[in-house]
Structure 1
Amino acid sequence: MITLLDAMERKESAKRIRKLGYVPCSIYGSGVDRNMDIQIEDKEINRFLKSHSIGAKAKVKINASELPCVIKSIQYEPISSKPMHIEFYASSEDKLVKVKVPFKFKGKEQLFSNKLVLNILEDEIEIQGVLKDLPEFVEINVSLMKDGSVITMEDIALPEGIRLLSRKDEVVVRASEASQPTLPVQNEFVV
């Protein structure tokens, strides 16, 4: 089920909007007549972002219209990690959309029990598909990896109708033996 987010068109500066308890956002794309600056209540967007991130689908309700959107970018405050600005891409649900979505790695516990470390080299994938079919994340099962094995973008199974846009030969993860931790050498000082 796609989440519905209530928004209002923004007339004031982003700084002022944040002080009033809203997150400034913008909507652009083929699903809107013009680019719009909007605001969404702080509590509502934070609740949404607890389980969603870049690539997530949502319907943004402005006045009487509901726009099918995907989150294209999120800017966070460096210290508090609160969202400062969010960009939504609006499209009809049957149009092609390019988006980057995060990976979720399944089976890491099995690697750890085999004394292997998972080196994550890429944490997102660029894909293209119609908005209604886009996944919010791509899951990769790493439980069967051996020492030295890699998974590339080309190895990842994508849902039907979703096309890979990232470089096929790009390495996503590599498994390697966990090295034994070494204790720091204590320097002895003679006074």
Structure 2
Amino acid sequence: MEKPNIIELTAVERNIDPKRLENIRKEDLVPAVVYGPGVEGNLHFSVPRVALEKILSVKNLQFIKLMFEGGKHIDAILKVTQFHPVTDAPVHADFYATKEDVPVTVTIPIRLKGTSPGVIEGGRLYQSLRKLSVSALPGVLPSELTVDISKLQIGHNLKVRTLKLKDITPLMSPDRTILVIRPPRGGKAKIVEFADGEEAPQEEAAEAAAE
């Protein structure tokens, strides 16, 4: 599994002044804060909006190196981003400082690899979990979790407990289903993906209950 990219992000320290926030945003900067191991209290700063949006456009896990004036830097992950309700532009970002010997909680995307023989035979692939919350030391975290489906036949499913995660602790139930290959209903096979936590349509749920 590939390691997360390390992205350098320019950070300019700022004072806590609500009256200044709007001016900061007019300068195409986004107010931000970093907290966590090695950081005393909350450190407030600003980052370039364009650079932050580029980070947000990547689904894979990334490590951020916050670069402050004078050569100071803080290793971190992007924890929370607030967006404008109308323009959807980022208006504030929370970063969490990381240390090599301190476990961190992150969400990692799940990517499917290969082609399922069950799908080729007409089965339908349902992916109900697209990302997984885990806890681990920063050094062992991958940028994404790759799941090989090249041996899955009709009727097979994968659960969280089937993942091979060395030194990584899943924070979801081990019985949580990642995906399932369901039998065909006739015609060509189709792939339907559901967002995390989304329920299947009623007709599919009824069919599943009957199996």
Instruction: Sort the TM-score into its range (normalised by shorter chain).
Output: 0.7 to 0.9
Task: Classify the secondary structure of the residue corresponding to 2:50.
Answer: helix
- The 3-state SS of whatever aligns with 2:52 is helix
Q: What is the match of residue 188 of structure 1?
A: none
Instruction: Check whether the contact 1:97–1:128 (CA below 8 A) recurs between aligned residues.
Output: yes
Give the superposed CA RMSD: 2.7
Q: Write out per-residue CA displacement over residues 109-134 of structure 1, whole angstroms, 9 at most, x where no aligned residue.
A: 86654433322222221212111222
- Counterparts of 2:117 and 2:85, CA distance in 1: 34
Matched, 1:122 2:129: yes
Q: What's the TM-score once normalised by structure 1's chain length?
A: 0.77
Q: Given the superposition, is the C-alpha separation of residues 179 and 3 from structure 1 closer, same or farther in structure 2, using an over 3 Å criterion?
A: same
Alpha carbons 2:119, 2:181 under 8 Å: kept: no
C-alpha distance in structure 2 between counterparts of 1:109 and 1:149, whole Å: 10
Identity value in percent: 23
Larger fraction in strand: 1
Q: How does 1:70-109 map to 2 (within 5 A)?
A: 70-77=77-84, 81-107=88-114
Q: Measured at CA, do residues 31 and 103 of structure 1 come closer, stay the same or move farther in structure 2, by a change above 3 Å?
A: farther
Equivalent residues of 2:117, 2:152 under 8 A apart: no
* Deviation string, structure 1 residues 68-90 (Cα, Å, up to 9, x no partner): 11222334456655434332110
CA distance in 2, matches of 1:60, 1:110: 45
Alignment: residue pair count:
179
CA contact (8 A) 1:153 1:168 kept: yes
Identify unmatched segments of 5+ residues in structure 1.
182-191
Map 1:103-182; keep pairs closer than 5 Å: 103-107=110-114, 112-158=119-165, 160-177=166-183, 179=185
Paired with 1:72 and 1:5, the residues of 2 have a C-alpha distance of: 15
